[in-house]
A and B are shown apart, each in its own frame.
Chain A
Amino acid sequence: MPAFLLRWRDELGETTPTGAARVAVGLLLLMNAVRAARELGGGYFGDEFHWPLLPEILVASRDAYVFIVGAQILLSLLVVAGIRAREALFSSALAGAYVLACDRLQFHNNRWALDIDALLLSLAPCDRAWAIGRMRWAPRIGPLWAVRLVQAQLSLIYLTSGGSKLMDPDWRSGRVLFERFVLFGANAVDQGVPQGIVRALTRPEVGSLLAKMAIATELVLAIALWSPSVRALAMWWGLWFHLSIEASSRVEGFSWLTLAVYALFSTPDASARRLEFDPARPLARALARAVQQADWLARFEVRPLSRECAAAGPPLVAVDRDGTAAVGLRAVAVIARGTPLLFPLWLPLAAAASLTKPRETRRTPPS
């Protein structure tokens, strides 16, 4: 068997990011189930025109569908809580796929992506972190082969989406985007987007430029997310790409699902970076606590500086993966790179930090 296949099959690693992704997927499953329940209030899909993939006799009856939607709500709560999370994910995925098979009018790319990601995540040890009742010291190392499949699935989606746009002359020329701006510009203005921005976007040359950027972004992300040297940059770009789609289009939870999968691309280790703070200073203490709270992917080991170090140096020191210690704005950039909530600001912070005078020292990499 080729070495890369053996590596994929046998890889073990930290599963805190997998747990965080599970919570996000659980919340999206919950949103989906609540939407289905709300739509059920307006009528059962089987009483109106529907288009099943399955033979009609296998389509869920009204009572069965009510039960499925109720079960989906319950299962999604279990997924979020981390209680029997893998079984709940697996069941949610099957239920979701069955509903899509009952009525392909309910098919949306984002719902299908959610179901298949839920299925793949159920095969990963996603219940070892971010789970109610899970002890802090409990083992969090686990096999990552299924996590890598979720990542591969995202790359496939990017390739397919970008590739289909590349093959379409109307997309390549920017005509599709331009028309979308024309059709939905008024809606954007109604929702508070400044008229000037909408007017700027509804120009053919802008549509053409943005279309080429979108195609290039999708195709590059499919590959770049796998490369350790450019991954952070790719994730930052992809994050803003998806946030802009979220702001301009109705894609249900697809943007958030994709960003949750981004967490799985993080290096599968824990506490590889350090944040050292002066415990005598309230502000440093508060910042350290804030970082600890926002450290969803277990990137940092937060620890107080010894009295001697604290007296001699700055109140807050961020030590990067390679042992480089940073203070001031550079420390903030290191923190932003490792915390999902601050990650959107990472590149501008890092750029600004690169203009500051380095006051860094080399420290021993974390043991």
Chain B
Amino acid sequence: MGAAPIAASIGVAVSDGGALAGPAAEPFPQATRIAGHAVRSEARTSKPRVTRGREKMQIGRGAFSVKKAMNLGPRARVVFGASWIASQVALVLSAGERPDRIFGFRMFPEASTLEVHLIRETSAGDVTAPRGEWSALDAVGQLRHFSWHDRVRDPVLGAVDATVFASYGVATQLARLQRALDDVAAHIDQDGETRRLRAHVVFSRNGHDAQTVELTSQPRWGG
């Protein structure tokens, strides 16, 4: 028996069964490739389920169900498939344009390290914040304690004054660090001294000579 007659004879059997069973649920009863004996065993056994499925559909279900919507028709399959491939390729090709290279599937892109040192810019000059901790007076002159780790818990960004592996590469971590600086600077309302936060970053890309870069947060007041 050829594939098409087999499929036609089990038109419902190749559908989802249960609530969706029935020739209408399967857009392609005309199978083009079917595994021989597996199909025949279905043909032998599928009838009772089909009946139950139809009953269920008439009694319990309306015209729409999530699963039915997920059984795409022939045209929808082609449109979906083409859109899917195009969108994935576009995401991969455009990954370099995103600061953290997400959606690019670049596995193990680097073996780089970085070390972040935190500095506060105040009216009295630059003050280091060892291990990301510092104390500063608030608006009414009360001394308060602040910690980088109150906001930043990421294992790479949270490691101040320590050399860490730059997961996903230096560029990704610098992009994240820039936003972390802005975020922390925006959340230390009671710090009446710090104008800006600055990160002095020493990094080594793939074991090459160390380089440094300075990142600065948005000014907290006064530009």
Contact = CB atoms under 8 A, between A and B. Distances in A.
Given A12-B28, A177-B111, A139 B78 contact: no
B2 to A, nearest CB: 13
Given A9-B78, A149-B81, A49 B180 contact: yes
B31 A164 contact: no
B153 A48 contact: yes
B129 interface: no
B214 interface: no
Contacts of B31: 10, 12, 141
Interface in A340-367: 366-367
B179 to A, nearest CB: 5
A95 interface: no
Contact of A152 (B80, B85, B111, B184): B85
B74 interface: yes
B78 to A, nearest CB: 6
A14 B35 contact: yes
A211 B4 CA distance: 49
Nearest to B106: A164
Contacts of A272: 35
Interface residues of A, number: 66
A157 B95 CA distance: 13
A11 B32 CA distance: 6
Interface stretch (B41-49, B54-62, B137-145): B41-49
Given A141-B14, A145-B77, A156 B88 contact: yes
A8 B89 CA distance: 19
A306 interface: no
A104 B102 contact: yes
A125 B176 CA distance: 40
A6 interface: yes
- Name, among B30, B84, B107, the residue most crowded by chain A CB atoms within 10 Å (CB to CB): B107
Contacts of A7: 32-33
A139 B33 contact: no
B207 interface: yes
Contacts of B41: 137
Given A14-B35, A140-B42, A176-B206, A86 B110 contact: no
**What band does the interface of chain B fall in when counting residues whose beta carbon is under 8 Å from A?**
35 or more
B165 A49 contact: no
A247 B28 CA distance: 44
B219 interface: no
Contact of B36 (A1, A5, A269): A269
Contacts of B180: 49
Contacts of A1: 78
B34 A13 contact: yes
A258 to B, nearest CB: 11
Interface string A151-175: 0110011001100100010100001
A10 B45 CA distance: 23
A9 B85 CA distance: 14
A252 interface: no
Interface in A1-45: 1, 5-14, 42-43
Given A13-B33, A49-B183, A160 B105 contact: yes
A138 B17 contact: yes
B42 A12 contact: no
A269 B80 CA distance: 26
A153 B207 CA distance: 33
Interface of B: 7, 10, 13-14, 16-17, 26, 28, 30-39, 41-42, 45-46, 49, 66-67, 70, 72, 74, 77-78, 80-81, 84-85, 88-89, 92, 100, 102-113, 150-154, 157, 165, 176, 179-180, 183-184, 205-207
14 contacts: A9-B74, A10-B32, A13-B35, A14-B35, A49-B153, A49-B180, A105-B154, A116-B88, A138-B46, A139-B13, A141-B14, A145-B81, A157-B105, A272-B35
Interface of A: 1, 5-14, 42-43, 48-49, 51, 86-87, 90, 104-105, 107, 109, 112-113, 116, 120, 122-123, 125, 127-128, 137-143, 145, 149, 152-153, 156-157, 160-161, 164, 168, 170, 175-180, 182-183, 249, 268-272, 366-367
